[in-house]
Chains A and B, each alone.
Chain A
Amino acid sequence: MEYEIKVPVQPPTELQSLFIPIPPEYVEEVYRSEDFLVLVGPQHPGSGHMRLIVRVHGDIIREVIPDPGYVHRCVEKIAENRLYIQNIPLVERPSIMDALNFNLGYVRAIEDALEVEVPKRAKYIRTMLAEICRIGTHLYDAAILAVFLGHTTGFMYPFGIRELICEVLVRITGARFTSSFIIPGGVRRDVDEQTLKFVYETTFAIEKRLKSFERIFIKNPTVIARLKDVGVLTKEEAIKFGVVGPFLRASGVEYDVRKVEPYEAYGELDWDIPVADAGDSYSRFLVRVNEISQSLKIVRQCIKNMPEEKLKDFRGTFFDEFADIVLPQGEFTTLTEASRGTLIYSIVSDGESNVPYRMRMITPGWLYLRGFMESLKGERLADLQAIYGSFGYFPPEADR
């Protein structure tokens, strides 16, 4: 039997002074119905650059309203105001650990419009770089997941491994994160044999270190207890809410842009798509862990099968050669499998200007935000961070 406690409940006054995108009636309604509003973020140890308005009933989450846009830096509007090639550094800023995938997608849209043929060696280098970034991003997300579960060692190990990734990127492109290395028609410059050898050896070093990460975090009983059967998205739900990338594959949909619409060298290499059926947080995490090993495989294949060819060095002449690109009239849409999922660039050109008329950029984070919010319903408040980490939600990427 339940006893009713008759205490007049008043919505807290502190909510009035804050800007939150929910009306005061909603707040009042929540407090009349014995629920509790918890505002998580943006300054919260377990939240990124966003606010989640969580309505909890006891310990159970009833509804989550996202408040994104804390890192909205207007990439789309700025892109309309710059030359096509000036947008290359711009589009990789939203997700800097995944910069080369973002770079690649944009460049492919231009190449698609201009129907440029890319040298085969450049294609292999691009694939290799994209996969290195994928490893780096998955490690970054694993680290964030670990720290959200309170496992600081699980945070430090991937970042230790990421230093190797950064080193590889520095040797190839010259920058730790944002290198703008991929340009229409190829890459900025060739990669020499010695560097390729270093990258090849580094893949084994990463693999070795991943084993200790596996021991301490992936197979840790506390981690499994926290992630298993938490935040389940069934296959139907995942499709309905348009979840993308590894999170879609964790729900049992075998969809990977690299397989369904192969670009660059992916069609010529031997690799698998890791898929899981459970759709819970742990399988979302495991799919990405398995993707790391697939990516390592791809990187090694790329280096082994790298065609011998002389690539043009664009250093010094880059602006003169590319400043005056004018795309033909029409709309050009490319799909790219970035680390966190499908990345869509849709460039609309009027056929006369050398700036895009409209550049639409849909990042994976923005696409799976809805699925993320739905998977939180019915879970416990403590699981908010576990699910957040399992999605690897990175607000700068989602907000653009």
Chain B
Amino acid sequence: MEENIKFLRSGILAPIKKWGTHWSLWPVHLVTACCGAELAHAFASGYDGERIGALNYGIARQTNLIIVEGAITRKMARVLRITWEQMPDPKFVIIMGTCGLNGGVFWNSYHLVKPFEVVPVNYFIPGCPSTPEALLRGIRQLQNEIRTGEPRSSIEFEKVDLGKGKMMPVTPKSPKKISLAPSIVVNVPRKADEETKKLADEISKLGLATTVTGKNRIALRVEKDELVDAAKKLQNFGFDHVKNVNVIDVPNEDKFIVEYHLGSYSKRELMPVVLNLFTELPRSEPKLKSLAKIFPSADYMEREMHDFFGVVFEGNEWMGRKFLLAPDTPEYPLKKDFKLEEEKYLR
């Protein structure tokens, strides 16, 4: 077997094999993140990657090139590895975009992995997103490598001597100012137009205390146990869907603020209004009744919040399972106790 492989790589037929592979680099359809838009441009009318023999093709078994389009998440890393293993030999990997190189804007994200730790990589293409020209150039470089056998970078950067130049007297401070004891109030009253005030009064008549927090924005605070009742009342009033389910973690006051932003599509005068129905939970026992039965539109967002904060929405059948996050993600990453890596400032 070893001999056969050696024969293929350097025997009499090797030049023919190289020529065929050279002109037939077919990238597999594995879209991993947003650079996919530029990849599509590179293979569409404008740039036409088919000119150089690269044809974006269906599945891993029939192709020989993976173009990783940007960020690889923990969930996608597994898929990337499986795809790479499914691919017949010889196989190549090109990584597109800064996210694959060093994380890019998402460098300290808790859900990202470095693709070069998952699969062996032939070429990196910088850019956020990389332009189609850059991608096609990357493919050309790979073709050159196949033909000549030696990898070559298409850009030579100037060497910078870090010892030279003036050094800052002190390490610069981070521009960030973060309050140590933040006080979070969701329903700060603000001035608004008459119509919103009138509407707030009308809602108040249902027995719910409202605050006007801006034009067309009304906040409504209820106790944890009254949430379902209030939601039912508001549904009868005309609010028919949930735009947003939000949890705010306030560790120094030991509470979670759970918000439901309600909206209406069926009543014309309620259309612009966003009603913030919120309640507070103790951090030690974050449990409340789910509104997914009343507003099915809240279902997926409740699952998401469960992933992020560990708030249990009783009655939502997905509780206890991960929905958006990979199983190996750190627990409840959006809680304030979970800290991301901070930027380091160098002198």
A residues lining the B interface (CB < 8 Å): 19, 21, 42-45, 48-49, 66, 68-74, 76-78, 81-83, 89-90, 93-97, 112, 140, 143, 155-157, 159-160, 162-163, 166, 176-178, 238-242, 248, 253, 255, 257, 260-261, 323-324, 326, 328-333, 335, 342, 344, 346, 348, 350-355, 357-358, 360, 362, 366-367, 369-370, 396, 399
Query: Which residue from chain A places its CB closest to the CB of B42 in the assembled complex?
Result: A159
- B38 and A73 within 8 A (CB): no
Q: Offer 24 A-B interface pairs, CB within 8 angstroms, sorted by A.
A: A19-B327, A43-B28, A48-B31, A49-B32, A66-B300, A83-B176, A95-B34, A156-B44, A156-B45, A260-B271, A326-B177, A330-B188, A330-B190, A330-B213, A331-B259, A333-B244, A335-B274, A344-B261, A354-B177, A358-B249, A367-B297, A370-B300, A396-B33, A396-B34
Check A360/B44 contact, CB under 8 A, given A93-B105, A352-B179: no
Check A332/B214 contact, CB under 8 A, given A42-B76, A240-B297, A355-B176: yes
- B300 and A366 within 8 A (CB): yes
- B58 and A77 within 8 A (CB): no
Check A369/B129 contact, CB under 8 A, given A74-B106, A348-B184, A350-B179: no
Contact partners of A155 in chain B: CB under 8 A: 44
> Taking each of A326, A328, A348, which has the highest tally of chain B beta carbons within 10 Å of its own beta carbon?
A348
- B33 and A71 within 8 A (CB): yes
- B243 and A74 within 8 A (CB): no
- B75 and A176 within 8 A (CB): no
CA–CA, A69 to B59, complex, Å?
21
Chain B nearest CB from A258 CB (Å) reads 11
Contact of B188 among A90, A94, A162, A329 (CB under 8 A): A329
Contact of A241 among B60, B243, B296, B342 (CB under 8 A): B296
CA–CA, A140 to B44, complex, Å?
11
CA–CA, A157 to B46, complex, Å?
10
Contact partners of B182 in chain A: CB under 8 A: 350, 352-353, 357
Q: Quick check: is B283 within 8 A (CB to CB) of the other chain?
A: no
- B58 and A45 within 8 A (CB): yes
- A344 and B177 within 8 A (CB): no
We find that the number of chain B residues with CB closer than 8 angstroms to chain A is: 92
Contact partners of B32 in chain A: CB under 8 A: 49, 70-71
Chain A nearest CB from B249 CB (Å) reads 8
CA–CA, A358 to B41, complex, Å?
35
Check A360/B244 contact, CB under 8 A, given A73-B112, A163-B41: yes
CA–CA, A248 to B243, complex, Å?
13
- A157 and B261 within 8 A (CB): no
CA–CA, A366 to B214, complex, Å?
26
- A78 and B108 within 8 A (CB): yes
> Taking each of B83, B131, B244, B333, which has the highest tally of chain A beta carbons within 10 Å of its own beta carbon?
B244
* Residues of chain B in range 2-60 having any CB-CB distance to chain A below 8 Å: 28-34, 36-38, 40-41, 44-46, 58-60
Contact partners of B276 in chain A: CB under 8 A: 331, 333
Further contacts, 8 of them, CB under 8 A, given A160-B44, A177-B37? A43-B29, A72-B75, A78-B340, A81-B340, A255-B271, A332-B214, A348-B248, A351-B179
CA–CA, A396 to B217, complex, Å?
29
- B296 and A370 within 8 A (CB): yes
Q: Quick check: is B198 within 8 A (CB to CB) of the other chain?
A: no
Contact partners of A71 in chain B: CB under 8 A: 32-34, 71, 73, 76
Check A330/B274 contact, CB under 8 A, given A70-B73, A178-B128, A253-B265: no
Query: Which residue from chain A places its CB closest to the CB of B299 in the assembled complex?
Result: A370
Contact partners of A342 in chain B: CB under 8 A: 243
Check A346/B244 contact, CB under 8 A, given A74-B111, A331-B213: yes
| Residue-wise interface mask of B (69-91) relative to A, using a CB-CB cutoff of 8 A (1 in contact, 0 not) | 00101011011001100000000
Contact of A353 among B178, B265, B340 (CB under 8 A): B178
Contact partners of B99 in chain A: CB under 8 A: 73
Contact of B241 among A45, A70, A242 (CB under 8 A): A242
Contact partners of A178 in chain B: CB under 8 A: 128-129
- B109 and A74 within 8 A (CB): yes
Contact partners of B296 in chain A: CB under 8 A: 240-242, 370
